[in-house]
Structure 1
Amino acid sequence: MLQNNLLIVAGMLVGAAGLILTQIMCKAMNRSLGNVLFAKFGEDGGGGGGSDEYTGVTSTTAEELAPLLEAAGKVLIVPGYGLAVAQAQHKCRELGDLLEKEGAEVAYAIHPVAGRMPGHMNVLLAEADVEYDKLFDLDQINGEFSQTDVTIVLGANDVCNPAAIRDPESAIAGMPVLNVWESQTVVVIKRSLSAGYAGIKNELFEADNALMFFADAKKALEDLVTEMKEL
């Protein structure tokens, strides 16, 4: 087998691709390779982010959100692992199209490590035929949140946790994140208040301008589309 040059070259290409993806992931998390491989991420981050750690969380429903979205002039959508698990990319695109018909400007904010690997969200949204020029990475989109009426966080957690910027003792301190909290209103679609990969509390969920929509991503989007069509 080792004498098969094609297999050797193929193995080298696979290894090189894996190394490149790993480097992208480490840069996006502001972590060294050794830290990613061997450190216990979030071990001193202040707990696991269970519901008992949160106070002042404001929950909402599709019926309440529909008028808010209908009136929005600019909407940013932040997809995360929850979107992938629910296979909600097509419903996400449907909601985006509906918002545009209502006159809103819609774009998608993609964090480099959202999902299982770099580029995961790009692939899912491309599968749903979301136009590529509507996808923006962290560096391109972060300046837009302060000018956004509504940001919808779809199953993302650590990649939009303000502790990365505000708390130097946090397990994710220094990690580049999407500044979604700068939006006028943030709608977080998530099944529960459970922690993300870092295992820490997300202060975003308690923010004054944050609304928590507790539901599976696909079901939540289906309900939002239905409610908006009935307005």
Structure 2
Amino acid sequence: MALAQAQHLVKQLSDKLEANGTQVLYAIHPVAGRMPGHMNVLLCEADVPYEKLHEMEEVNPEFDSCDAAIIIGANDVVNPAARDAEGTPIYGMPVLNVDHAKHIIICNYDLKPGYAGVDNPLYSRKEGVSLLLGDAAETLSQLLQSI
């Protein structure tokens, strides 16, 4: 989201979903972005109300009843391998439990592993995952048009 400067498109998507009766929560991992709070600042810049921004510990239980999680430009912080891939750099790292949602839409530039170099099994999951690859501004625009 930050690299593509897509925070305003994220807000537009949220507005459109909410207009259709969808509850939207923003899940922010503590290490998302270049510095702590980076994603919060970008989203607030796009007029996302601060009370909609939720820390990982607060929002993780919500994924069990979540119909759809939309991931924008994240890899390691949503990689479920962190729970069981012993010997990897991310093993034991807390992650957003997006893999518990009924459906996951991933807007990511490519399928390469994140900074830790660990493959994300969500990228090869056969059911319940939609991959929208490319620049986040472009994939979010496509998603907005399809709704």
Fold shared, TM-score > 0.5 on shorter chain: yes
The gaps in structure 2 that reach 5 residues or longer are none
Match of residue 215 from structure 1: 134
Cα offset for 1:171? 1.6
Tell which has more relative contact order, 1 or 2 (C-alpha 8 A, sep 6+).
Answer: 1
- Structure with max Cα Rg: 1
- Over aligned residues, Cα RMSD in angstroms? 0.9
1:158 & 1:200 partners in 2: Cα distance?
8
The gaps in structure 1 that reach 5 residues or longer are 1-82
* 1:181/1:209 contact within 8 Å kept: no
Match of residue 149 from structure 1: 67
2:74 & 2:82 partners in 1: Cα distance?
15
Match of residue 117 from structure 2: 199
Equivalences, count: 146
Cα offset for 1:204? 1.6
2:14 maps to amino acid:
G
Match of residue 12 from structure 1: none
Q: TM-score, with normalisation over the residues of structure 1?
A: 0.62
Over the matched positions of the two proteins, sequence identity in percent amounts to: 48
1:217 & 1:125 partners in 2: Cα distance?
15
Match of residue 15 from structure 2: 97
2:4 maps to amino acid:
A
* In the alignment, structure 1 residue 165 sits paired with structure 2 residue 87: no
1:168 & 1:223 partners in 2: Cα distance?
37
2:111 & 2:146 partners in 1: Cα distance?
24
The secondary structure found in structure 2 opposite 1:86 is coil
Cα offset for 1:127? 0.3
Match of residue 120 from structure 1: 38
Match of residue 62 from structure 1: none
Runs of 4+ in 1 over 3 A off after TM superposition: none
Match of residue 94 from structure 2: 176
* 1:90/1:128 contact within 8 Å kept: yes
Cα offset for 1:226? 2.0
1:15-56 deviation digits (Å, cap 9, x = unpaired):
xxxxxxxxxxxxxxxxxxxxxxxxxxxxxxxxxxxxxxxxxx
Match of residue 104 from structure 2: 186
Match of residue 135 from structure 1: 53
Greater share of helix: 1
The secondary structure found in structure 2 opposite 1:151 is strand
The secondary structure found in structure 1 opposite 2:115 is coil
2:121 & 2:135 partners in 1: Cα distance?
21
